[in-house]
Amino acid sequence: MPILHALDFVELSGYGDDGDGIRFLKDLDAEIEGRSVVLVDSVIDTGLTMNHLVRSLRLRQPGSLHVATLFERPYRRLVDDLPVRYVGFTIPDEFFVGYGFALEGRYRNLPDLRLVR
């Protein structure tokens, strides 16, 4: 990116079907008050985890907050007001492996995406 920026990471726990039980395993190291924040995720399906993160980070009063994702499945979304601003691809409701996505810990290292049938 040809602009001044910083990277930070969070890690959240999994969630139940209703979104309960989401918690921070690793929080941000940097303060975000007044800063422009773009949250990046690989896939957004229901949006429950990202919604929890967005609501939590908004309490820290960033200057702006948007979401970027490589893949999204908007037809599975359970959250109406998720600020997904940047989308690489909208993908069908099928399971993919490769390019970092795994099935039971395997196939993550494939150099491209492949549909699991």
**Contact present, 42 and 101 (Cβ < 8 Å):** yes
Q: What distance in Å separates the CA atoms of residue 71 and residue 101, rounded to the nearest whole number?
A: 11
20 is catalytic: no
Looking at 18, 29, 41, 45, which residue is catalytic?
45
Backbone dihedral angles phi then psi of residue 97, each to the nearest 5 degrees = -130, 165
What is the set of active-site residues? 45
